Amino acid sequence: MTSKVSDQIAEFLAEKGIRHVFGIVGAGNAHIFDSIDRRGFTEIVCVHHEQAGVMAMMTYFRTSGQVSASILTTGAGSANGVTGVVSAWMDSVRGSSSPGTKTLASPTPTIRSGSGASRASTAWTWSAR
């Protein structure tokens, strides 16, 4: 049986006992959210901005002690999440990143126009120590 990478991500979240993910559904991560929803273990909490998703993830860990994740979309969505990641790092009680958070962002393919090329965003994954 063939499975999608998004199904494997949903399974990983369930295996690790991650009950909540925060994020915004976009073209670059729709399959991930669909797989999480179909798997039925992890609850999806939709937010209005990627930065808010990362900050909600960090606040969830700080208030409950439970690991959560934020899932960002491509392009500016990934960039918007950086502020939340830096904020989580700067606000850490231990002076370093919190062990209870994971952030995933999808890659964006290179966009070619005329003779030049630009990358709308690069994929990045941050996991705190």
Task: Tell me the pLDDT tens digit for each residue of 3-24.
Answer: 899 999 999 999 999 999 999 9
Any idea which architecture 5-127 has in CATH? 3-Layer(aba) Sandwich (3.40)
Domain boundaries, the chain: 5-127
pTM for this prediction: 0.71
**What is the dihedral angle through the alpha carbons of 88, 89, 91, 97, rounded to the nearest 10 degrees?**
100
- Residue 123 pLDDT: 38
CA-based nearest residue to 83, from 57, 51, 122: 51
- Using a pLDDT cut of 90, give the percent of the chain over it: 35
Distances in Å between the alpha carbon of 73 and those of 6, 41, 53, 120?
13, 21, 11, 12
